Amino acid sequence: MKYIDDTVVMKRMKSRLKYNSLWKLIFLIATSLALLTLVILLVRIVTQGSGHLNLDFFNNFGSRFPDKAGIKAALIGSVLLMLIIAPVSMILGVGTAIYLEEYAKKSKLTSFIQMNISNLAGVPSIVFGLLGLTIFVRMLVLGKSLLAAGFTMSLLILPVIIVASQEAIRAVPKEQREASYGMGATKWQTITRVVLPAAIPGILTGTILALSRAVGETAPLVVLGIPVILQFLPDSLLSQFTTLPLQIYDWAKRPQEEFQYVASAGIIVLMILLVIMNSIAIFIRNKFQKRY
Amino acid sequence: MASQGLGKEQSIQEMIARSRNNKGKKFIEKLMPIILVITALISVLTTIGIVFTLIFETFEFFQRVSITDYLFGKEWLPFSGSEPLYGILPLVLGTLKVSVIAACVAVPLGIAAAIYLSEYASDKTRRTIKPILEVLAGVPTIVYGFFALTFVTPLLQELIPSLKIFNALSPGIVVGIMILPMIASLSEDAMSSVPNSIREGALALGATKLEVSIKVVLPAAISGIIASVVLAVSRAIGETMIVSLAGGATPTFDFNVTGSIQTMTAYIVQVSSGDAGYGTTIYYSIYAVGFTLFVFTLIMNLLAQYISKRFREEY
């Protein structure tokens, strides 16, 4: 004698199983929708902009005429800005991470710093622009310079770098530190010769990803009042400059349709720059990161 | 005996003693923690800097404009020369319109994607889709703004002929696409951390995968999912370039989504890209608006932290 009647079970289960496969399809479609958007976005920008990508585009400065507009000042400005942000944000970020992971005891101050960092990460980038405008541009009289923008952007990405570095430092096993102390090394020697070398791939990966965010960031620079069309290249830390996203913003705002193609070409250059940075980050992660 | 291997005549004890008395080394050991504390305090100083900058300049603004007019005024007309009006409500409403539309797009799609990735997808599919979502999250907002203005708006105009070139709908949808990866990946993390034994228990009782996902995993992970939504909406409120490019510059106090709007962030950009002289009321107004924006996002972030801490299920 059977306790369970298969036909009854199947009858009951049929609609439930049907719902299951129906919803699986819906979930799959929702997921693919996101991917589809990415494809549409990329295809559109490449088809619109590739016609404008030629040597002149890289050699010309910004211009009011679409066919003469180029990206030279913006590309070089973005790269120079990155060269300022990288060391400043890395020194501050890694320093903070070492302090929090290696020195700080569990105290109110430590948990306050930690909470402060996670809240700082949620502050909108445009608010950092207001901070930079008051502190760096006006109070420290740096003007609308590379240095002022570099400091502002460094503070913007600081929380990301701190968190990434903390994770990298935390991943270094305790045994390695203890072995180092056992050999008679001091704390600082242990940090510089054991912990940091082991953590550096993770720190670099996090830093490069944070830098790529800074490179694509526009809003704080607009607030700082960084000029858009420049006919010269910056020659010092205090000289004016412009960046790729700002240049794209300016082109996108213009009513003439040709400028849309110029903007697309600018976006292609920006995206290629980001892809290169991300590839370096992924390469470092895969090649050097040790798993304990 | 032990010293024979070393170049100079010295014993291990002497080496240790010398190393201990090395003043330079001692100095570095003492100095470095101090330097590191200073770097750590920079992040605290940044927060203090933000708060004080905003408070001081906003205070200056309220010397000129009454605080009740600002908080409850329904008209934002800072550029009308003779009698400028500074009522924040139109800007707040513009921001909320965009954020709500964005949430309507991102929450269902993001959670659906999270359920698919966490409950249905094979390991291999997950490993291909997650990096693509990361790419989507890494696209600069200026690119999204350009996409909204030149692709989404014309597309929507085909469907809704009355849609203006600048409107709330198109940037809202695109901001939704921008925050979607954040909801998807944070919710997926929350759902993946629900232990398998609970799933297996439900499956053994005859539940289908759908029933397990909706009735078991989703409730267990709900605190993480809600926190991810709150964080994503906070990101949408602070989003600047998409709304500046595609949203327009007309602060209006109505619930129409087809016409031009202005958000808090877009106003700050509008003033910054123009030539508002230092010291004018308009100059101070961007700090007041920035402060309002800061308060909004801070509350959302604290709320997200509270939810994920308070309602977390511990396994």
The stretch A47-71 carries a mean pLDDT of 78
**Residue B264: pLDDT band with limits 50, 70, 90:** very high
Residue A141 is predicted with a pLDDT of: 84
Residue B293 is predicted with a pLDDT of: 94
**Residue B2: pLDDT band with limits 50, 70, 90:** very low
Contacts A278 to B, Cβ<8 Å = 138
Nearest to A252 among B40, B54, B145 (CB): B145
Supply the CATH number for residue B210's domain: 1.10.3720.10
Between 1.10.569.10, 1.10.3720.10, 3.20.20.140, 3.30.70.360, what CATH number should domain A57-288 receive?
Answer: 1.10.3720.10
B110 with B232: CB under 8 angstroms?
yes
Most confidently modeled range among A238-242, A286-290, B266-270: B266-270
Residue A272 is predicted with a pLDDT of: 92
As a whole number, the mean pLDDT across chain B is 88
* Residues of chain B above pLDDT 70, percent: 95
The verdict on a CB contact (< 8 Å) between B238 and A20 is no
Nearest to B36 among A98, A263, A264 (CB): A98
**Domain-embedded: residue B6:** no
* Residues of chain B above pLDDT 90, percent: 57
Nearest to B241 among A138, A184, A218 (CB): A218
**Span of A82-96, B219-233, B243-257, B284-298 with lowest mean pLDDT:** B243-257
* A122 interface with B at CB cutoff 8 Å: yes
Closest Cα in chain A, distance from residue B34 (Å): 9
Q: What is the ipTM of this complex?
A: 0.89
Contacts B32 to A, Cβ<8 Å = 188, 191
pLDDT exceeds 70 at position A291: no
DSSP chain A: --SS-HHHHHHHHHHHHHHHHHHHHHHHHHHHHHHHHHHHHHHHHHHHHGGG-SHHHHH----SSGGG---HHHHHHHHHHHHHHHHHHHHHHHHHHHIIIII--SSHHHHHHHHHHHHHTTS-HHHHHHHHIIIIIIIS---SSHHHHHHHHHHHHHHHHHHHHHHHHHTS-HHHHHHHHHTT--HHHHIIIIIHHHHHHHHHHHHHHHHHHHHH--HHHHHHT--S--SS---STTS----HHHHHHHHHH-SSTHHHHHHHHHHHHHHHHHHHHHHHHHHHHHHH----
Residue B315 is predicted with a pLDDT of: 66
For residue A122, give Cα distances in angstroms to A126, B19, B110, B116, B134. Answer: 12, 47, 20, 28, 18
- Separation of alpha carbons A206 and B241, rounded Å: 24
- Separation of alpha carbons A64 and B69, rounded Å: 41
**Domain-embedded: residue B246:** yes
Chain B residue nearest residue A12, CA to CA = B206
**Span of A131-135, A198-202, A234-238, B229-233 with lowest mean pLDDT:** A234-238
Q: State the distance between the two ends of chain A, measured CA to CA, in whole angstroms.
A: 57
Q: Which residues 204-243 of A are in CB contact (within 8 Å) with B?
A: 209, 212-213, 215-219, 222-225
**Residue B9: pLDDT band with limits 50, 70, 90:** low
- pLDDT digit string, tens, across residues A31-43: 998 889 999 999 9
Residue A238 is predicted with a pLDDT of: 80
Domain ranges, residue B104: 85-310
- pLDDT digit string, tens, across residues A78-87: 999 999 999 9
Residue A139 one-letter amino acid = M
Residue B1 is predicted with a pLDDT of: 43
As a whole number, the mean pLDDT across chain A is 88
Could you tell me which residue, A71 or A66, shows the higher pLDDT?
A: A71
**Domain-embedded: residue B4:** no
Total beta-carbon pairs less than 8 A apart between chain A and chain B: 246
**Domain-embedded: residue B245:** yes
Could you tell me which residue, A104 or B107, shows the higher pLDDT?
A: B107
**Domain-embedded: residue B229:** yes
Strands (E), B123-279: none
The verdict on a CB contact (< 8 Å) between A128 and B140 is no
- pLDDT digit string, tens, across residues B113-127: 999 999 999 989 888
Could you state, in order of their start, the residue ranges of all structural domains in chain A? 6-51, 57-288
* B283 interface with A at CB cutoff 8 Å: no
- Separation of alpha carbons B62 and B60, rounded Å: 5
**Span of A252-256, A272-276, B243-247, B276-280 with lowest mean pLDDT:** B276-280
Residue B296 one-letter amino acid = F
Q: Which residues 119-158 of B are in CB contact (within 8 Å) with A?
A: 120-121, 129, 132-133, 135-136, 138-147, 149-151
**Residue A108: pLDDT band with limits 50, 70, 90:** confident
Contacts A117 to B, Cβ<8 Å = 43
Residue B275 is predicted with a pLDDT of: 67
Closest Cα in chain A, distance from residue B217 (Å): 15
* B245 interface with A at CB cutoff 8 Å: yes
Domain count, chain B: 1
Residue A210 is predicted with a pLDDT of: 92
Residue B8 is predicted with a pLDDT of: 57
What six digits make up the tokens of A86?
A: 């990288």
Residue A8 is predicted with a pLDDT of: 79
Which of B41, B45, B46, B234 to mutate against chain A (most A CBs within 10 Å)?
A: B46
**Domain-embedded: residue B17:** no
Nearest to A100 among B40, B141, B302 (CB): B40
Contacts B297 to A, Cβ<8 Å = 122-124
pLDDT exceeds 60 at position B6: no
- Burial of B217 (C-beta count, 10 Å sphere; 0-12/13-18/19+): buried
- pLDDT digit string, tens, across residues B172-214: 999 999 999 999 999 999 999 999 999 999 999 988 899 999 9
**Domain-embedded: residue B15:** no
For strands B76-77 and B85-86, give the pairing: antiparallel
**Residue B3: pLDDT band with limits 50, 70, 90:** very low
